[in-house]
Structure 1
Amino acid sequence: MENYHDNFKGVIAIVIASFLWGTTGTVASYSPDVSSLAIGAFSMGIGGVLLVVTAQKKLFIDYKLMLEQPRILLFGGASVAIYPLAFYTSMRFSGVAIGTVVSIATAPFFAAILEHLISKKHISQQWILSFVIGAIGIALLTLGRDQSNNTAYSINQQGLGILLGCIAGLTYAGYSWAARRLIESGVHSKASMSGLFGCAALLLLPSLWFTGDNLFSSSTNALVSLYMAIIPMFLGYLLFGFGLNYIDASKATLITLIEPLVATILAVFIIGEKFKVIGWIGVALVSLCLLMQTIKPQNQLRLAFKST
């Protein structure tokens, strides 16, 4: 019973974080004159600094333990730094819904591969089935976009946006895996996430010297920049790190399929992106995938993890 409650707490934390992340594309669309690289660097960089400030006590306790694992720390930090640049540029090239969908849909696949190849962990049949359902739903959602409303995006832009979305999915899975590995080694979740994001901030914030000209050129741009850094990045990743205390990276990244659902709904009703019926069938399948991950604990998976 205790394991079930712990699992439930982890799931709820990541669901809330995913909802906050789902607002980023729509909010960023209100600053079209700001570079997607600048939005990504500022939001993740400032969010990283805030995470370091709020977790400084945990960092002071655990920093030696993290430094004993330099490869994991550097890999996770680099993944955090690359992720927002690829993610926001993907949305700029292919649209909010598709950019978000591809980025998040590919993350569980990469996370499972990392856990299997590096951590030697096994994936349950329930996870595989839910992933297949989610993947089909994501494909239908992408194919169901009304192209008549997509004249602003060329075929080359769409292709580049999808490629960048895959890179975002890989790096998302990468830092989720790294954070989980640090937590499993005894590092507190706050120290783990803030350590990775602090490393990324050292790479991201200096880049604003070249890309951040319009971040605060208007009140709208300023509000967008601050919202992105404080709400989805800072608060969202606090919740995500908390959730990783109780569930594994492959499951966490699969639960975040709620993010493209939120992003799609906001893109349709606020930005005006349109989808056909087949796209909404995809939404239903992704929702089913999410329910499969939240209603019943993966006892088989947890036992496999305990035996490694």
Structure 2
Amino acid sequence: MENYKGVIAIIIASILWGTTGTAANYSPNVSSLAIGAFSMGIGGILLVITARRKLLVDYMIILAQPKLLILGAASVAIYPLAFYTSMRLSGVAIGTVVSIATAPFFEAILEHLISKKNISLQWILSFVVGAIGIALLTLGREQSNNTASSINQQSLGILLGCIAGLTYAGYSWAAKRLIESGVHSKSSMSGLFGCAALFLLPSLWFTGDNLFSSSTNALVSLYMAIIPMFLGYLLFSFGLIYINASKATLLTLIEPLVATLLAVFIIGERFKVIGWIGVAFVSLCLLMQTIKPQEQL
């Protein structure tokens, strides 16, 4: 029963995260770097404020693991910059799909090589199904044009999505390791995000010109920081108490599903039949992971 609490919390967080690409689309004159830095930076500050009492208890344990802290904070700082730029270049659906779908792969490698955890058959099968779904979804997007610049732009977006997936897995793994060392889940996540905010927020001096240039830009910026980032990561840190980080990142495959639906019905991105078959495969992957949660990966 405890595992189900973690599963539900992470699914809700993933739904919130799935709205970010569509929300950012309403501020096209705001740099993707600014959107990522502001949302993750302000979200990190809010997490620190919320978890300040836990942090005062746990900060010595966190500082005693500087390599883990640096890895996690650097991953948090890089992730939103790569993620939002990936969506801007390759489209909301594909940028989100690639970023999230590659995270379980990197996460499993970290836990297997460093934490020496075995990978269950259930995880392998569900990941294969999910990977096939991601590939079909990526191939199924209808392109408005096929120029070399457009293809190069999408390729760069996919590469940045892979970088986002790597850093997403990196901070998820670091947060879980901190929790396993005795740090409260709120302290773990807020500590990493708070350190990342020290880098992200000053970068707005160079990139954040249009963040509040209109009421729409202001509303989008505040929504991104408070709802998907702050509330979403509170739920995510709660979920990490009950399930492994690799399973958590695999469950977040629901995020690209939400992002894809919003991109199609609100933004107007279009997909061929093969793309919708990919959506079905990713949905099956989620079902395989949530029907019977296990203690293994």
What is the TM-score with the length of structure 1 in the denominator? 0.95
| 49, 60, 67: which one aligns with 1:64 | 60
Give the conservation status (yes or no) of the 8 Å contact 1:141–1:281.
yes
Shift in CA distance, 230/152, structure 1 to aligned 2, threshold 3 Å: farther
| 225, 247, 250: which one aligns with 1:251 | 247
Amino acid at match of 1:256: T
Shift in CA distance, 152/222, structure 1 to aligned 2, threshold 3 Å: farther
Amino acid at match of 1:281: I
The aligned counterpart of 1:305 is none
| 21, 28, 31: which one aligns with 2:24 | 28
Which sections of structure 1, spanning at least 5 residues, go unmatched? 303-308
Q: What is the CA distance between 1:108 and its match in structure 2? A: 0.2
Amino acid at match of 2:2: D
| 43, 55, 62: which one aligns with 1:47 | 43
Identity level (%): 85
The aligned counterpart of 1:205 is 201
The aligned counterpart of 1:161 is 157
Give the conservation status (yes or no) of the 8 Å contact 1:94–1:153.
no
SS in 1 for 2:287: helix
Q: Does 1:281 align with 2:285?
A: no
Q: Does 1:234 align with 2:243?
A: no
Q: Does 1:179 align with 2:175?
A: yes
Q: What is the CA distance between 1:146 and its match in structure 2? A: 1.1
The aligned counterpart of 1:306 is none
Which sections of structure 2, spanning at least 5 residues, go unmatched? none
Amino acid at match of 2:273: V
Output one character per residue of 1:265-307: Cα deviation in whole Å (capped at 9) or x when no partner.
00000000000111001000100000111110224x17xxxxx
Superposition RMSD in Å = 1.2
Amino acid at match of 1:157: Q
Give the conservation status (yes or no) of the 8 Å contact 1:183–1:189.
yes
What is the TM-score with the length of structure 2 in the denominator? 0.98
Output one character per residue of 1:122-150: Cα deviation in whole Å (capped at 9) or x when no partner.
11010000000000000000001112378
| 212, 215, 218: which one aligns with 2:214 | 218
Provide runs of 4+ in structure 1 moved above 2 Å.
Answer: 148-153
Give the conservation status (yes or no) of the 8 Å contact 1:137–1:285.
yes
Q: What is the CA distance between 1:25 and its match in structure 2? A: 0.2
The aligned counterpart of 1:115 is 111
| 85, 93, 97: which one aligns with 1:97 | 93
For 2:106 and 2:139, locate their aligned partners in 1 and report how far apart those are by CA, in whole Å.
Answer: 22
Q: Does 1:78 align with 2:85?
A: no
For 1:124 and 1:273, locate their aligned partners in 2 and report how far apart those are by CA, in whole Å.
Answer: 36
Q: Report 1:131-142 matches (<5 A).
A: 131-142=127-138
Output one character per residue of 1:135-192: Cα deviation in whole Å (capped at 9) or x when no partner.
0000000001112378897111011000000000000000000000000011000000
| 263, 266, 271: which one aligns with 1:267 | 263
The aligned counterpart of 2:144 is 148
Shift in CA distance, 153/57, structure 1 to aligned 2, threshold 3 Å: farther
For 2:194 and 2:109, locate their aligned partners in 1 and report how far apart those are by CA, in whole Å.
Answer: 26
SS in 2 for 1:20: helix
Output one character per residue of 1:17-73: Cα deviation in whole Å (capped at 9) or x when no partner.
000000000000000000000000000000000000000000000000111111001
For 1:268 and 1:73, locate their aligned partners in 2 and report how far apart those are by CA, in whole Å.
Answer: 38
The aligned counterpart of 2:184 is 188
Give the conservation status (yes or no) of the 8 Å contact 1:126–1:298.
no
Q: What is the CA distance between 1:82 and its match in structure 2? A: 0.1
| 288, 294, 297: which one aligns with 1:298 | 294
Q: What is the CA distance between 1:117 and its match in structure 2? A: 1.1
